[in-house]
Amino acid sequence: MHAFDVLGDPVRRRVLELLVAGEHSSGDITAVIREEFGISQPGVSQHLRVLRETGFVSVRVDGPRRQYSLLAGPLQEVDAWLAPFRSFWGQRLDALGTELARGKRERRRDEQQQQRQQPGSGRPGSAAGEPEEIAAG
């Protein structure tokens, strides 16, 4: 089974997400998956078997418990396959960052122009919105 076939299933992806934080018992994994997906214990066991057989996880027997851990191998293969696409996204994300920065500069410039155009904002010592004193003549 290809790595993307394994990762195509949302239950298996969720199991891997749980294991990123560290080792979990099959009981802990089953409890989370049952609550989130409504899958029975035998169903969760089938997903764990697929992950184990495809090398995504390892299992360690600890007394009556089975402890599952994430393995890097297949994820490194996925990462290597995605590598050529990163430049595609990187260029577009860089362009987006440039446009966002340009928009911020334009908003600041517009705000500064508006502040300069407000009545009384150009005279030293006066605040915008304060009434002007009229000289008695």
Overall number of domains in the chain: 2
**Does 92 lie in the same domain as 41?**
no
**Does 55 lie in the same domain as 10?**
yes
**Does 93 lie in the same domain as 37?**
no
- 57-66, 82-91, 118-127: least confidently modelled range: 118-127
Domain that holds residue 19: 3-71
Q: DSSP states of the chain as a string?
A: --HHHHHTSHHHHHHHHHHHTS-EEHHHHHHHHHHHH---HHHHHHHHHHHHHTTSEEEEEETTEEEEEE-SHHHHHHHHHHHHHHHHHHHHHHHHHHHHHHHHHHHHHHHHHHHHHSTTSSSTT--TTPPPPPPP-
For residue range 16-63, list pLDDT tens digits in order.
Answer: 999 999 999 999 999 999 999 999 999 999 999 999 999 999 999 999
- 80-84, 85-89, 101-105, 125-129: least confidently modelled range: 125-129
- 72 has a pLDDT exceeding 60: yes
**Does 33 lie in the same domain as 92?**
no
Mean pLDDT of the chain: 86
For residue range 3-12, list pLDDT tens digits in order.
Answer: 888 999 999 9
**Does 60 lie in the same domain as 12?**
yes
Tell me the whole-structure pTM to 2 decimals: 0.63
In a domain, 98, yes or no: yes
In a domain, 128, yes or no: no
Per-residue pLDDT at 106: 87
Compare 71 and 124 and report the one with higher pLDDT.
71
